[in-house]
Amino acid sequence: MNEVEVRKAIAIHMGWTDIKDPTLTTAMRGTSPNGEKNMIVPNYVKNLNAIHKVEERLSITQRDRYISYLYAICDKERRMAPISWLAINATPIQKAEAIIKTLSND
């Protein structure tokens, strides 16, 4: 998946609808979970605050899988680091990748 596809998949999970892909001159827009139309969709692949809101919505079972995926993704780059350090220092795109893997196994 590319960044737009990842962002869109996470947005759908978060309750966004009617999502329009971005162009060179427009942002990704859609209807927010509370029904506001033509709103800018959060950038889950580049914004830590946005991806953190997704992390907060994971169930306990999903969190366990998410941490396992996140560890596997981050450990490729930072061998032998404690999992807590990897989770804290993961980039938004790494967290988004782990979220997508977690949600695809539900």
Interval 23-66: pLDDT, tens:
888 899 999 999 999 999 999 999 999 999 999 999 999 999 99
User: What range does the domain containing 33 cover?
Assistant: 3-104
Q: How far is CA 98 from CA 18, 39, 89, 106, in A?
A: 24, 25, 14, 13
Domain total of the chain: 1
23 and 14 in contact (C-beta within 8 Å)? no
**How far apart, in whole angstroms, are the C-alpha atoms of residue 15 and residue 23?**
22
Predicted structure pTM score: 0.86
Q: Which residues contact 105 (CB under 8 A, 6 or more apart)?
A: 65
Beta bridge partners of 20: 29
For position 33, what pLDDT does the model report?
Answer: 97
Percent of the chain with pLDDT over 90: 75
**How far apart, in whole angstroms, are the C-alpha atoms of residue 44 and residue 89?**
16
User: Tokens 């680091």 label which residue?
Assistant: 81
